[in-house]
Structure 1
């Protein structure tokens, strides 16, 4: 490459260490190329490491091994029934959706070949399983638990996961029902024994996104990738309109790194940037995000300044939240999501969500992205920000709430601070939260009539497999519907939070960043939430943001490693 006064040169440079970064690095190292991953914060893993760490992978090899039906054709049918229905969403095209469904299982095969231990969740239905091509067993892939001691000196550089106990997702779901099932009690015992064994053997287990990113970090280091923390990228180096490298910081001064095969941006979205939120998604707040501290959006703005097209900037990976004192998004670290009551609480029996007039206005189950879209849409005509979670003694007695064990005794601070409200009657509860008592009583009575029959004719909660899966598998006649009838009654605010944004630069089928005229910016690639999602304005299933981050990181690296010729 030409002499641009570089301080050092790699074949490929990756900006950010989230979902697809180490995947891209492994592709490059497999091709014999040098690669550097530059992380601006002091920890590796991005929001992916904090998250559930699941990937939505159609037709994945673990489904085939277990004899679960899926195919390219069925997966595409579902993609067209979900992502393909998005309006004004240039981040998704038929060509890109086809590429995703084709390359996603190949990417998983590649990771397994590199020694990454993955598995499928025993059960995790697609979020719109009732639509054509939907899968009730589910298409989610996750990592085995990981002992962070295997990282050696890098152990302290892995961003911690939200879940502190060494449990798989399926065990966590069972534990949430330990008051009502022997399976829940056995799951709690199993995890407890794992914790005890870890203390005896010196293991340091992490799970979910921490396990996924821990395994990816170990593999990338083992493959010879260069990883640097505290290395923010300040800008791109251009020659003739092509990206030739980046300017970062090293030892307190600007450091120019050249890249022979291109630069991949996987630096997250802009959840932690209130100014960008105000511009693109007014009415939302950084106070409600669980995204990592690196999601500040400056790389999206830098790419836009070079002519990159932006799209879907008003979409987020919504994640409904009830945020207890002490778990707010302080210092840009993200909401303490481990203690935040969310989707599974709202879909459990004996509870509903209402707006500020006391009216129920949606199915509390289903996709968390759709839930938060519904809150913001409702708030355009009826005050719904925040909305109210309404429950009774049965709900508190049987289910986890905001990181606390089942039981009606909650921290007094919760009541004193106005976080949680409690009253002996629905009418008294309504007055405490300044909702019309008669209206809230009508809403609860209407819900109870259907709940006792196991039906929600108003919003169809429980009429898809995913709703039922979110509920209590041991509650009948419906997993998710139960009357709100036993005092005391409870209320807490519900915020339309998020775990990341869903819009960014527009990329093509190879992960190349595109200009407004559809031409590619030479040498510039992007993946993850730095891009406008291939899923458009829909979240088809668990892992619909982490999955594309990995898949298009994999695709971009293969394309770049082969000089623009896909192998």
Structure 2
């Protein structure tokens, strides 16, 4: 075909989760693959994240004797989202395909030499539903020596999943244990192990990274070794359509437009629109680009380009919520302290701007942030206040600061961290009716005394308890707020990305509004309407689908059965 500057078999737009997985499958079939990344760094928001994939019935669960099956996972997803009528990305057929192909995708990556494993205990977010798994269905990459990437090391998107001390180079699972290091001899022993590992790493020229950095680092290494061509600073401005089918893309190469033919198809995995305030205002009003952990390149233009050629969209009002607290000095684009464990810990609650507690502070971070925005429609709740006492300050991390350590003076001076000797005094600082706040705290403390949250059932799910403090008894998540001074910090409904986009079928093909297929065009990741609909079933419910649908798309485009 004339008019093209380059010809390859498969073009992938974006380098986040799923892109290199799709490319690896194509390379096993002897097909040429070109990944086009518009920024200077490879890995997308996946590299920044925990790098967790939600993969039911995976090989590591079988290895460890953890019960799961296609039928059990189907029961769980049906119980959680089977009644949805406004989530076209989450049809029963797509859910079945996901559950079938997800463990196959993991097997494929392991066979390609990508070292994966599972977290020993990470409950599904609705583990109390039929089919829910208390042990969890997570798959992660093993620690990765990023120095193995050679010159590509500088091209890998830096991960936010790292220890506060550079010498420590823990795995994701080890990192989640570190908050208890001042109170647990077992964790102190782990800390000593990590110090030794860090010293040995420095002596031997290794630099271990975890989370999304490890996952995408391993994927990048496999991609380069397989012969996939990856171009950075190569944005795609146009999908080339001929006779109703996508035939290629217009990208930028050496500062000039370049037309690339894709003989087998184009896969769009370019992220969502978390960094596009205009699109946020249109689809997710009341949210801000200042609250997102997504990469700067997550600006939505490829979703709009697919819309331009007729793609249907759905679930555009959804995000992968991630409650955050922003102390002074937290720069835009850097890791913002998550508040996920803050209000799920003992001696802490979340209240709106009238001093009323209005949710289970445990549970899914997506549900948490949706509840904040929904509450804000009737009662001022953005920001809400995390309220806690001196027991919390002694035991737990706050916005990345160590337990029991004095907090920066600017936190107080700039009004971020409120402090008072009494609940009444704290209420006055928060401009809340003292009687209302005192009543809320008294009611919560009554639930603590009975070890039962009668309002919102915090602690009833295994996941709630996992988020809390395993050393706190009798409840891992319920603890009285009674020892002054008392404190509060603002919480906003942040996110790690958007969760809606173009509608795709069970082969990851992009669909028009009438349900017809746009030939030659595939999509995965948060460029699509999620297969999980309007829920987040467990850790990795966006990264997992990105990988799985990239794998499915490559199978279909490459004619692999």
- When normalised by structure 1's length, the TM-score is 0.97
Query: Residue 354 of structure 2 aligns to a residue in which SS?
Result: coil
Deviations 1:296-340 (A, max 9, x none): 0000000001000000000000000001122242xxx3x423xx0
Other-structure match for 2:62 = 64
Alignment of 1:409-558 (within 5 A): 409-558=406-555
Distance in structure 2 (CA, Å) of the matches to 1:185 and 1:161: 25
Other-structure match for 2:200 = 197
Q: Which 5+ residue runs of structure 2 have no aligned equivalent?
A: 164-168
Other-structure match for 2:166 = none
Q: CA deviation at 1:408?
A: 4.5
Contact preservation (8 Å) 1:83, 1:534: no
Deviations 1:143-174 (A, max 9, x none): 00111111010000000110233222221221
Alignment of 1:340-355 (within 5 A): 340-355=337-352
Other-structure match for 1:126 = 124
Distance in structure 2 (CA, Å) of the matches to 1:130 and 1:459: 14
Q: CA deviation at 1:531?
A: 0.1
Q: CA deviation at 1:201?
A: 1.4
Q: CA deviation at 1:193?
A: 2.2
Other-structure match for 1:234 = 237
Match of 1:183 among 177, 183, 186: 186
Distance in structure 2 (CA, Å) of the matches to 1:224 and 1:341: 38
Distance in structure 1 (CA, Å) of the matches to 2:503 and 2:523: 9
Query: Residue 262 of structure 1 aligns to a residue in which SS?
Result: strand
CA 1:87 to 1:386, structure 2 compared with 1: closer, same or farther past 3 Å?
farther
Match of 1:310 among 302, 313, 328: 313
Contact preservation (8 Å) 2:389, 2:487: yes
Q: Which moved more, 1:416-425 or 1:115-124?
A: 416-425
Contact preservation (8 Å) 1:512, 1:520: yes
Distance in structure 1 (CA, Å) of the matches to 2:12 and 2:290: 29
In the alignment, structure 1 residue 6 sits paired with structure 2 residue 4:
yes
Match of 2:358 among 352, 358, 361: 361
Match of 1:223 among 212, 220, 226: 226
Alignment of 1:206-285 (within 5 A): 206-285=209-288
Distance in structure 1 (CA, Å) of the matches to 2:449 and 2:197: 39
CA 1:345 to 1:184, structure 2 compared with 1: closer, same or farther past 3 Å?
farther
Query: Residue 180 of structure 2 aligns to a residue in which SS?
Result: coil
In the alignment, structure 1 residue 392 sits paired with structure 2 residue 389:
yes
Q: CA deviation at 1:294?
A: 1.2
Query: Residue 198 of structure 2 aligns to a residue in which SS?
Result: helix
Contact preservation (8 Å) 2:161, 2:172: no
Distance in structure 1 (CA, Å) of the matches to 2:204 and 2:350: 45
Q: Which moved more, 1:200-209 or 1:262-271?
A: 200-209
Contact preservation (8 Å) 2:524, 2:550: yes
Distance in structure 2 (CA, Å) of the matches to 1:252 and 1:231: 9
Q: Which moved more, 1:241-250 or 1:188-197?
A: 188-197
Q: Which 5+ residue runs of structure 1 have no aligned equivalent?
A: none
Query: Residue 280 of structure 2 aligns to a residue in which SS?
Result: helix
In the alignment, structure 1 residue 49 sits paired with structure 2 residue 52:
no
Distance in structure 2 (CA, Å) of the matches to 1:433 and 1:489: 12
Distance in structure 2 (CA, Å) of the matches to 1:410 and 1:241: 60
Match of 1:33 among 27, 31, 34: 31
Contact preservation (8 Å) 1:393, 1:408: no
Q: CA deviation at 1:452?
A: 2.6
- When normalised by structure 2's length, the TM-score is 0.98
Contact preservation (8 Å) 2:161, 2:212: no
Other-structure match for 2:133 = 135
Alpha-carbon RMSD across the aligned residues, in angstroms, is 1.0
Distance in structure 1 (CA, Å) of the matches to 2:385 and 2:302: 36
Distance in structure 1 (CA, Å) of the matches to 2:427 and 2:180: 28
Distance in structure 2 (CA, Å) of the matches to 1:500 and 1:191: 31
